[in-house]
Every structure is written in structure tokens, then in C-alpha cells.
Amino acid sequence: MLHFTFLGTSSGVPTLTRNVSGLAIRNSKNKDWILVDAGEGTQHRIQQAKLSLQNLVAICITHVHGDHCYGLIGLLASAGMNARTAPLTIIAPKEIQQWIEVTAQLTDLHLPYPLNFTDVKESTQIQQITDQLSIQSHRLSHRVPSFAFSIIAQ
């Protein structure tokens, strides 16, 4: 069974009571979880939800608008500062990978764990993340290429 924690449901900008887009999907059989979108402030909401970045197995970014991804780099850096060493899967538009690489270079960010990128625009097959969790992407209609994700628990 999967458990859903809404980390942010606001669009565009946060409000006093709602953060921008973020959804944690946790496997009830263990502590593994998947993050869908990482708007600004998402890592604060992750802390409030008592989720560990050590148990994060994948990040899915629906599209490149800032309210869906501006919290990603800080989250990745925090995971590294908290001794994460396990590889992390990121399923996102390729622009997200480019943005992370440029930002890491310009800010001297060195992650102590590997990032395994999948360009969501090229991925329509089910991707096995762990022995119990898989992800499949689905194209949506929006101003920019956008995707939904099916999270499958085995």
C-alpha cells in the first residue's frame, strides 16, 4: 500500500498555509519514498512530515516551471550534507539535469552520491526503482512539456 503526504498544493506562489507543489509517496512496507515535484520550501515540509532523505529513492519532476522544481537543488545539497551515499533516481525533463549540473558547477556543489537521470520525455516504459516500487510517466497537456507519474507498488 502507498501513503500520500501532500507537501504543497499551492500553484505559482506559496501562501501562508500552503507550499508550492510537492507530494511524498511512501511505501507502507518499508521506509522508501518517492517525491513528485520539489517546489521552493519542499525540504522544510519534508522535515515537518518526518521523512528521511536517506530513504528517498526517486524524485519525479512534472515540468520545468519554478513552482515545481526550485526547491530541488537545496534538497539534493541537504541530502549530501546529511551523509547520503546511496544513488538517487531523478525522472524529469532533461533541462532539470542541465540546470542541476550548471548550478552545481557555479556554486561548487559536490554531491557525495550519484544521481541517475532519466529524461521523462524519452521514457514511456515502466521503470523499476526498487524491488517494490516502479514508476511510469504519462504526457500531459500544458504550456510546457508536462508529465504525470504512475507509482506502482508490487
Q: State the sign of the Cα–Cα–Cα–Cα dihedral 139, 61, 57, 10.
A: negative
Please report, for the chain, how many H helices and E strands are present, in that order: 4, 9
For the question of residue 67 being annotated catalytic, the response is: yes
Choose, from 32, 37, 67, 131, the residue flagged as catalytic: 67
Rounded CA-CA distance 128/15 in Å is 36
The distance between the two most distant Cα atoms of the chain, rounded to a whole number of Å, is 41
Task: Write the CB contacts of 47 (distance below 8 Å, at least 6 apart in sequence).
Answer: none
Treating both helix axes as pointing N-terminal to C-terminal, what angle do 94-107 and 72-81 enclose, rounded to 10 degrees? 60
Cell numbers given for 98 = 542541465
> Which residues are identified as catalytic?
67
